[in-house]
Structure 1
């Protein structure tokens, strides 16, 4: 037997597997690195997060990512180079963390790398006849595996598309396995660049699903980066809190077929871009708004998309709780809009034992654990939730 296959087979039957989960989102904040211990698989999975950190990206690297992100026309040479650069850079950051944590790479069984999304193109968005759903994440995993000496799983979204999905959101798998409750209906709300949620009805019902709901931080971040050079986001919603929501602009922002499409659905900054904002301002004839008013309206726009999706998904399903994760949970204005509508304080995944900052990295670590040691849990093979094993394997030798 090939040594790599033999090693992988041994990992699959270990009572405890150590897996590093990596996540880098569309906000380009940095790389989330979560070192997890897994016992079991499927609904019997026991997870312990031993270490977690976010390694901030420097401004030059962020600009490199922005130069090829969500653009129909980008520098192909730059994309090719960044594919290798990102993989190698991730490996360096992992090795730095392991040294700080006093852990040898040989003590880690697997790495699960989401990669860096540079374009997401579901059919309903690109509308090109004869072309399928598609998505592209770069950051080659062979570079990670070779440099760290650790088996690496990556490119999880491609299998989801091959099985009939749109490549996102993948959180439904981990949310169902980790956060399902026998007694409580739960909304697992992740507010990243794009906001998505998983609806988990009580008693492990087959009615669970996950969907994108529209922009979370992405439009606000893009506007801040345009109008306030050197700033990447509206810290503590300071700009937006100084403004007033413009109802005409808000109505125009919400007037798009995406918001009328059935669940599940996906989207990205390819749609919700500054061009989208400018078009809404043109249609609403709101050309002379202050930056503060635009930001306040964008915060409400993100909140409204989230609220509408949750209301529709829980209609007739009884009481529920909302558990937040993602960078948007630090936007107090957007969160307050959501809380005011539902008349309650939102909870965090930390209330269920998982650091909300680490959640996405942990979920990809779980997908790697399932690919190697699980795969027997049925997910119903419904639209958006095919029962498949995800992740391509890169060996270190």
Structure 2
């Protein structure tokens, strides 16, 4: 490209903690984050988004209102990014678009046999038209649907970005995103005939956060300290891992549709007398076990496991990953130039840029789609 190109990426994940935004410069091979901002979800909004993950009263109306509220929050994040850009001499007119993923509340991409094409669906709450109106910047949204229409899982969509950002010429690498769910990208050296792989391992922070909120009043287990104070309950861990999803072959993706608080409550029924911190410890080990199984199955040749997402700040979890993967160096994405909470937002800035350039955003080897597809729908300002 003849001049620098800028896009904004916005991400609010299944952890339901808030919205993260980055302004990304595209020049040369590697994208560069030039500004970042985030805003937390208010407690009532977080509760409403969580409730909308399951069927409930008047949910279409409530979902529309939640999409409006999310777009307004996104617009606040964008305003902060535009202000930071201005202080660096980057005019708002140079920002080509905003990539806004929205808030996933349903994700059932499996083929159903239903007409006309036998595909499933995915739903992300958002109002990209309102965001374009509020920000005055073009918005690209609805990234997953095109891949699902092509027979894919619609997720994960970040492995192609991970390859562009973290891929090495001389070694295979793996990137583990620990959001509400955990997903793994398996990156190959330059010139390799082996395709990039990616899939959801299972739960990331979602179940740990829910248990922590219920028993401590805190939205997450800071640093994993509470989990570290407990002990493992082997029978509970075995019961948690006794879920057919873990034995499914890739491509695969999951979410709160499966790993919900109701799912956890059913698994915990025989363990009502156990200490809360012991259950938290075991839930942490459950996340670790699911991730380790993914690495062992598909990323044995990797030299390093780069961890991003909110779970990268859970020191106890990272220590357990390193202990169970002694052959890999486990590190935070911050050690590779991008903060853990910036990676996914930057991925959606990249996906928006790909859409504007009419370049594919998916990898069929990851999602199982029939082939590469341009992802996203454009909402002009």
Q: Structure 2-normalised TM-score?
A: 0.91
SS at match of 1:123: coil
CA contact (8 A) 1:239 1:292 kept: yes
1:334 to 296, 314, 317: 317
Assess if the C-alpha contact under 8 Å between 2:109 and 2:152 holds in 1: no
Deviation at 1:29, TM superposition (A): 1.5
Cα displacement string for residues 4-26 of structure 1 (whole angstroms, at most 9, x for unaligned residues) = xxxxxxxxx65221111100111
Are positions 1:321 and 2:308 aligned together? no
Change (3 A) 1:382 1:232: closer
The yes-or-no answer on 1:239 pairing with 2:226 is yes
**Is 1:222–1:273's contact at 8 Å kept on the other side of the alignment?**
no
Structure 2 CA distance for partners of 1:383 and 1:322, relative to 1, 3 Å: same
Q: Is residue 288 of structure 1 aligned with residue 276 of structure 2?
A: no
Aligned-residue offset at 1:59:
2.2
Q: Shift in Å at residue 289 of structure 1? A: 0.7
Instruction: Classify the secondary structure of the residue corresponding to 2:185.
Output: strand
The change in CA–CA distance for 1:379 and 1:169 in structure 2 (over 3 A counts) is: closer
2:289 paired with 1:301: no
Q: 2: CA distance between counterparts of 1:218 and 1:335?
A: 16
What residue in structure 2 maps to residue 228 of structure 1? 216
Partners of 2:153 and 2:322 in 1: CA distance: 30
User: How far is the alpha carbon of 1:276 from its aligned partner?
Assistant: 1.9
Does the alignment pair 1:368 with 2:352? yes
Runs of 5+ unmatched residues, structure 1: 1-12
1:189 paired with 2:176, answer: yes
Task: Pick from 146, 162, 165 the counterpart of residue 178 of structure 1.
Answer: 165
Question: After the TM superposition, which of the residue ranges 299-308 and 216-225 deviates more from structure 2?
Answer: 216-225
In structure 2, what is the equivalent of residue 19 of structure 1? 7
Partner of 2:375: 390
Does the 8 Å contact 2:180/2:204 carry over to 1? Answer: yes
CA, structure 1 residues 145+362, in 2 after alignment: closer, same or farther (shift >3 Å)? same
The 8 Å contact of residues 39 and 47 in structure 1, kept in 2 or not, is answered as yes
2:49 corresponds in structure 1 to: 65
Q: 1:352 aligns with which of 315, 325, 336?
A: 336
| 1:93 equivalent among 73, 77, 80 | 77
Name the SS of the counterpart of 1:31 in structure 2: strand
Aligned mates of 2:120, 2:202 — CA distance in 1: 18
**Where do 1:23-62 residues align within 5 Å?**
23-39=11-27, 45-62=29-46
Secondary structure at 1:156 match in 2? coil
Gaps of 5+ in 2: none
Q: How many equivalent residue pairs?
A: 371
Taking the aligned partners of 1:293 and 1:272, their CA distance within structure 2 comes to 20
Q: Cα gap change, 1:212/1:77 in structure 2, threshold over 3 Å: closer, same or farther?
A: same
CA contact (8 A) 2:25 2:33 kept: yes
After superposition, the Cα gap between the structure-2 partners of 1:378 and 1:166, relative to the gap in structure 1 and judged at 3 Å, is closer
Aligned-residue offset at 1:149: 1.0
Bigger CA drift: 156-165 or 100-109?
100-109
Q: 1:10 maps to which residue?
A: none
Match of 1:256 in 2: 243
RMSD: 2.2
Q: C-alpha distance in 1, partners of 2:315/2:334?
A: 18
C-alpha distance 359-378 of structure 1, shift in aligned 2 (>3 A): closer
Deviations 1:300-344 (A, max 9, x none): 0000000011000034xx352111100111112221111101125
* Correspondence 1:152 to 2:136: no
Kept in 2, the 8 Å contact 1:28–1:57? The answer is: yes
Contact in 2 for aligned 1:20/1:35 (Cα 8 Å): yes
The verdict on how the C-alpha distance between 1:275 and 1:71 changes in structure 2, with shifts beyond 3 A counting, is: same
Is this contact kept in 1: 2:10–2:19, CA < 8 A? yes
Residues 119 and 88 (structure 1 numbering): CA distance in 2 closer, same or farther, change over 3 Å? same
Q: Which residue of 2 aligns with 1:217?
A: 205
Q: Distance in 2 between matches of 1:171 and 1:198?
A: 8
